[in-house]
Amino acid sequence: MSYQISIIDVIKAWFQPVNPLTIFITIILLLAIINAGKKVYHDKGTPLFPKSIATFLILLATPIVLIGSEIGSGWRLKGDELLFKAPLSNSSINLKLSRMALVSNTSEWAPASKTNGVGMPGLDTGEFTLKNGKKAVVFSYLQAGKIVVLQYQDKYYEISYPGAEDLYKELTARGVKVGVE
């Protein structure tokens, strides 16, 4: 059993849930890039089109790097281990030594602020401070209603995606102890 996101999933997360502000900012950014390219290169008497395209591609590099860093993020069950992959945090969690809980995304275990990682409207990965003040490594895709919280070696890991309840059932079947501290 595994769940890893593809480039299509990452692009989908950029715009879902639909956030009018994100779409508005994207359009304004594109128009500003085109306008800046016209002003800079038109005044110098150089061809507008090739240099505008070059400027656009250079400014587009940041979102491409963000999207590229997220490809393959997720988790995979392998024997008695859960392999957790998120940018800046790849972990192997021994299920026999772990504890878990299934909580609501509005509970005290929900992420409150990002301390290190990547965030988009529909995808958050990396290290977060939770509402209860604890720190956790988080993989949250499309703001699902449930979060699987894993506690292993005094660290917390959170997985939230549309199939989180199925993961919880699978971990229960594998004998992971219920209840986090």
- What are the distances in angstroms from CA 167 to CA 21, 132, 137? 33, 23, 17
| Structural domain boundaries in the chain | 1-181
Per the structure block, which two tokens stand in for 55?
A: 């400027």
- pLDDT tier, 73 (very low <50, low <70, confident <90, very high otherwise): confident
Q: Is the pLDDT of residue 4 over 90?
A: no
Model-level pTM? 0.74
pLDDT confidence of residue 131: 95
Least confident of 13-27, 37-51, 98-112: 37-51
pLDDT tens track for 76-123:
899 899 998 887 778 889 999 999 999 998 999 999 998 888 877 788
Strands across the sheet containing 99-104: 111-120, 123-130, 135-141, 155-160, 146-152, 99-104, 177-178
What percent of the chain has pLDDT above 70? 86
- Residue among 44, 1, 4 at smallest CA distance from 172: 1
